[in-house]
């Protein structure tokens, strides 16, 4: 209850910040996207990470206004980068929680935020998990189709940790699969994890989706993923999630083909 009222206050007092973790195209080395990740800068308490408050926010329904705030902040940032002449990151990925996704107005919320911020739909990617989609596949299909028709990209986060029906996966307008970092961690030493990663890459490609590996922390993991034709990567090996100005520095330091 204390956390819940803290979160409510945090929204009113503007204590949330968004950090951005870059995503790289493996073949070109270009930074093609960034995932927006929420942090709570509570006065006198340092940084609080979403693992410690997202589920409470979800239960209390606070995730709906918080999620809209993240979406608006990320879209505003991308528009500002575009206006400043920065081509990269081409797209910003924003996490949608189950409650937000089931919220009947999510399509309206997304289109309103895009309109208000001047962020183009194709600059936005929404990340949802398998369980969110499979909980009510028919309703999810309609929502995903509307978002996709709008031009927004859709990805499945933490892929492989939930349950999906491959039949639905084929019918949903999903653009990419994110291999969960629990499979990436031991990818070079655990034959089962390596097999799972290979299977997800093959599955994504046969369904005409791109595939991104999360949680890449070493050169060895990256070279395995490159050999297996994984399209993109994200992880500490490239960069931790950082404040927007730090991402700008990183982009200036990396030679962009533009
Ligand atoms: O950034 P960190 O590694 O602490 O994130 C932990 C978890 O919190 C991840 O599963 C991530 O998807 C989730 N998360 C981070 N930011 C957001 C957000 O803005 N909305 C939602 N729903 N989840 C988020
Ligand atoms: O569930 P989701 O994929 O949204 O989780 C993203 C979370 O993963 C963020 O909290 C981010 O801080 C964390 N993360 C990002 N890259 C790495 C990494 O290379 N290693 C580990 N252990 N965590 C990472
Ligand atoms: Na995510
Ligand atoms: Mn994930």
> 125 by DSSP, 3-state: which?
strand
Cα(95) to ligand 3 centroid in Å equals: 5
CA–CA separation, 209 and 195 (whole Å): 19
The average pLDDT across 12-22 equals 97
- Let me know: does 201 contact 230? Beta carbons within 8 Å: yes
Query: What residues does 126 pair with on adjacent strands?
Result: 94, 154
Whose tokens are 């819940």? That residue is 4
Ligand 2 atom closest to residue 214's alpha carbon, by position in its atom list: 16
- Summarize pLDDT for 59-105 with one digit per residue, the tens: 999 999 999 999 999 999 999 999 999 999 999 999 999 999 988 79
User: What residue ranges do the domains of the chain occupy?
Assistant: 2-179
Q: Provide the token pair at 153.
A: 């990209």
pLDDT band at residue 168 under the 50/70/90 scheme: confident
- Ligand 1 pocket by Cβ (under 6 Å): 37-38, 49-51, 54, 67, 70, 95, 97, 241
Cα(232) to ligand 2 centroid in Å equals: 15
CA–CA distance from 87 to each of 61, 79, 165, 256 (Å)?
Answer: 36, 10, 36, 9
* Atom 23 (ligand 1) nearest CA: 95
- Find the ligand nearest to 100 CA: 1
The ipTM estimated for the assembled molecules is 0.96
Q: Provide the token pair at 249.
A: 């520095």
What's the CATH fold of domain 2-179? TIM Barrel (3.20.20)
Whose tokens are 């859709």? That residue is 154
Contacts of residue 3, defined as CB under 8 A and 6 or more positions apart, other chains included, come to 53, 56
Q: In the prediction, which pLDDT does 166 show? A: 86
Is 258's pLDDT higher than 80? Answer: no
CA–CA separation, 137 and 115 (whole Å): 28
Cα(182) to ligand 2 centroid in Å equals: 10
Cα(88) to ligand 2 centroid in Å equals: 21
* Atom 22 (ligand 1) nearest CA: 97
Is 17's pLDDT higher than 70? Answer: yes
């Amino acid at each position: 209850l204390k956390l819940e009222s803290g979160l409510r206050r945090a929204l009113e007092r503007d204590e949330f910040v968004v950090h951005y973790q870059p995503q790289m195209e493996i073949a070109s080395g270009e930074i093609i996207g960034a995932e927006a990740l929420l942090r709570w800068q509570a006065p006198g308490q340092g940084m609080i990470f979403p693992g410690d408050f997202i589920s409470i926010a979800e239960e209390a329904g606070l995730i709906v206004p918080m999620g809209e705030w993240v979406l608006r902040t990320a879209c505003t940032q991308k528009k500002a980068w575009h206006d400043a002449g920065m081509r990269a990151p081409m797209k910003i990925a924003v996490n949608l929680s189950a409650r937000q996704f089931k919220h009947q107005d999510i399509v309206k919320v997304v289109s309103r935020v895009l309109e208000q911020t001047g962020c183009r739909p194709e600059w936005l990617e929404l990340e949802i998990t398998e369980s969110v989609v499979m909980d009510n596949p028919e309703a999810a299909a309609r929502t995903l189709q509307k978002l996709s028709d709008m031009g927004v990209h859709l990805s499945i986060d933490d892929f492989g940790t939930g349950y999906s029906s491959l039949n639905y996966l084929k019918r949903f307008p999903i653009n990419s699969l994110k291999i969960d970092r629990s499979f990436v961690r031991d990818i070079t030493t655990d034959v089962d994890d390596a097999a799972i990663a290979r299977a997800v890459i093959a599955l994504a490609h046969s369904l005409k989706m791109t595939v991104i590996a999360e949680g890449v922390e070493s050169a060895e993991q990256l070279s395995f993923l490159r050999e297996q034709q994984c399209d993109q990567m994200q992880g500490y090996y490239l960069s931790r999630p950082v404040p927007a100005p730090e991402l700008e520095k990183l982009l200036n330091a990396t030679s962009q083909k533009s």
